[in-house]
Chains A and B, each alone.
Chain A
Amino acid sequence: MTETAFTESEERLALRAAVRKLAGGYGRDYFVQQARSGGKTTDLWLEIGKHGYLGINIPEEYGGGGGGIGDVAAVCEELAAQGCPLLMMVVSPAICGTVISRFGTDEQKRRWLPGIADGTQTMAFAITEPDAGTNSHNITTTARRDADGWVLNGRKIYISGVDEAAHVLVVARTEDARTGKLKPCLFVVPTDADGFEYSPIPMEIVSPEQQFSVFIDDVRLPADALVGDEDAGLVQLFAGLNPERIMAASFSTGLARFALDKAVAYVKEREVFGAPIGSHQGLAHPLAESKIEIELARLMTQKAAALYDAGDDMGAGEAANMAKYAAAEAACDAADRAVQAHGGNGITQEYGVAGLLVAARAGRIAPVSREMILNFVGMHSLGLPKSY
């Protein structure tokens, strides 16, 4: 293929092909089987780690691939497109990996990044609280300084993958800034720390990766559990946002591709009035619309990644938000249309399409809701007054 600014490099395409093949070897059946039996996708996780696909965006000197967010996003998308969407890719290498790579001390990078890169020491990310979801200024998890470190107290919800993680990057505020506008501090907390407990939240998503309520009671942390310095928390959080959105977008476009592929294969085969149902425009056009929506969302995702990797955080912000929005919408539409195209089969476990609905739907809510993206675009892109 001809390479232009609007197409991906030969290496990126080769990476996609390699991941596609590896993930295809596991496939949707593996993923669903693990989900329904309470199993985990650790084998797949470690295998992508071993091949260097997981920590691509982490610097080489800390065990990563020295590539960009566009590379790791391509991995995330291809996994999902094979029916194995791994949410922890968004969290561990992209959010936590980025924050620590950019703001950790040298010692912190050496300690945490290699395990994130090869998948042996996954890191979860905890910002959401019962009373602080969309509005993260309401965070009440508090860090109190004591003689030789910190004491952490608080509660988090919807935290993905805590059971599979070695550490959680917890967003808190220091005691002396307990109220008012958030001045966050980010702490790396081992999941086996005394006073750190978690319990699964039953979710309707078909996935081996689960969400948890987290209870943090007088968890003692050494001084260097604080990432970087105390005043840099907000900058750190912002640094994680673009990677998070680009990854979430890729997760959704991958899921959308998987749903669309299933639908297309089905409507080519299934005959109702003596011809494949795909010959009816009532089914063909919605699937064609999905194809268009997915490709547009992918293009915007790649633009956001390219800007981010070129060092343009501001420019990437708008694109990443738009990509995240478009990808979640495309995934919801594709999943819905795939179910419709399958008729009654679309609701069965055997055909495995209905299970995509909730997963796709979650993309409209997390990690940032579609409303908040529309608020962002209204305010920043259109210059409209702030509404909240």
Chain B
Amino acid sequence: MNIVVCVKYVPDATADRKFEDDNTVDRVGVDGLLSELDEYAVEQALQIKDKQADDTEVTVLSVGPENATDAVRKALQMGADKGVHVVDDAIAGSDALATSLVLAEAIKKIPHDLVVCGMASTDGGMGVVPAMLSERLGVPGVTLGSEISVEGETVKIRRDGDASTDTIEGSLPLVLSVTDQSGEARYPSFKGIMAAKKKPVETWSLSDLGVDAGSVGAGAAWSVVESTDARPPRTAGEIVTDEDGSGAKALVDFLASKKFI
């Protein structure tokens, strides 16, 4: 089986996030890493590989700036077999539609039975790329799986909703997205880290994919970010003191006002 995992290089959430002059996320001047939500996708792909026949191959695919090779490398350290990095200046500022276009065209050039994505990116957070990919590739989209199994040609997931738990099945080829409940991602082992050095990573440009530069990038985006504001500093919170026995009621009132109870 051939598995493609789409991974995104995102700014480190623990560091300061910055924006470019055009309000797109600064992905060049900051420390970045493999999006944590995509680590779950890599993990599921590797678990499927572990259970399948030996010839299963996992390819990681990332569309992003020069540094995005770090995200590809990290996935290779975790155990993926090879990498593809699509990098092109024209891609900067792309929205989800354009990103899914580039990803889809790249996936078409890689042998694939199963495409695995995270549930959303930790920076953009829209969570629509997996659905767009399934549309563009013309295959089923089985999304937001928190438990995944593959039997022969059938992929089965459990999707946890607020009111119900769904079991969804699809047959290969398909696009799968997995949640942060699907199972902790593994740490790369020392051997994995050393082995990744020798794994092949191909670099493709838009012209390699036959994608017109005019159909991607900030200019082609259907949506624009008009302004950004830093989150206000955390406020001190409310302290309930209890001198006359009214503390419990004050606590309950507070929780009720926030709709926790």
Contacts and interface: CB of A to CB of B under 8 A. Distances in A.
B77 interface: yes
Contacts of B196: 11, 14
B191 A52 contact: yes
Contacts of B73: 10, 14
Nearest to B77: A14
Interface stretch (B182-190, B203-211, B240-248): B182-190
Interface in A14-33: 14-15, 18, 21-22
Interface string A233-273: 00000000000000000000000000000000000000000
Contact count band on A? 10 to 19
Nearest to B186: A51
Contacts of A18: 77, 187-188, 193
A129 to B, nearest CB: 36
Q: Which 8 pairs, one residue from A and one from B, show the smallest C-beta to C-beta distance?
A: A52-B190, A65-B190, A52-B189, A51-B189, A18-B187, A14-B193, A56-B190, A22-B187
B85 interface: no
Interface of A: 10-11, 14-15, 18, 21-22, 51-53, 56, 65-67, 71
Contacts of B189: 51-53
B28 interface: no
B8 interface: no
A67 B196 CA distance: 14
A11 B73 CA distance: 10
Contact count band on B? 10 to 19
B187 A15 contact: no
B197 interface: yes
A156 to B, nearest CB: 32
Contacts of A67: 190, 194
B74 A51 contact: no
23 contacts: A10-B73, A11-B193, A11-B196, A14-B77, A14-B193, A14-B196, A15-B190, A15-B193, A18-B77, A18-B187, A18-B188, A18-B193, A21-B187, A51-B187, A51-B188, A51-B189, A51-B190, A52-B191, A53-B189, A56-B190, A65-B190, A66-B194, A71-B190
Tell which of A10, A18, A53 has the most Cβ of chain B within 10 Å: A18
A66 B193 CA distance: 12
A27 B99 CA distance: 38
Tell which of B73, B187, B193, B194 has the most Cβ of chain A within 10 Å: B193
A21 B36 CA distance: 12
B83 to A, nearest CB: 14
Interface in B23-74: 73-74
